[in-house]
Amino acid sequence: MNKKILIVNGPNLNLLGQREDNIYGKETLEHIKTACQNKSKLIDFDIDFFQSNNEGEIINKIHEVEKFYDGLIINPAAYTHSSIAILDSLRAISKPKIEVHLSNIYSREEYRKKSITSEGVNGLICGFGSNSYILAIEAISKLIYK
């Protein structure tokens, strides 16, 4: 049976390809989903891909990880810098967790340089555009199979 990972995407990521392509690139979230599915097949992983603009929906989805998944990849988007609630839900999970960002949050505005949510994950990958997700899939596979 394949291992199963959840990829959670936060607010406004549904607008990828339409907004600030100088920061986030021109690829849509659907393109990123397809790339993640293709990568996951190569390493015998199944993925569920989820996006919400609602903090509560994201938290509820994270709560499912312990019971139904072997790991979590999350791009909390703007909640990265403000959501203690998402941090708390991440801390409640014992499964491997990786945070991803399309842009390098440390080279952006001062308020984006602090990731509250990264305190609840195993690691953070940022600044590689959509490839951040692919790198996260590779990294989480190492954590799951270690």
Catalytic residue annotation: 24, 101
Q: From CA 12, how far away is CA 51, in angstroms rounded?
A: 9
Crossing angle (nearest 10°) for helices 84-91 and 55-63: 0
Place of tokens 């709560």: 63
Tokens linked to 16: 């990828």
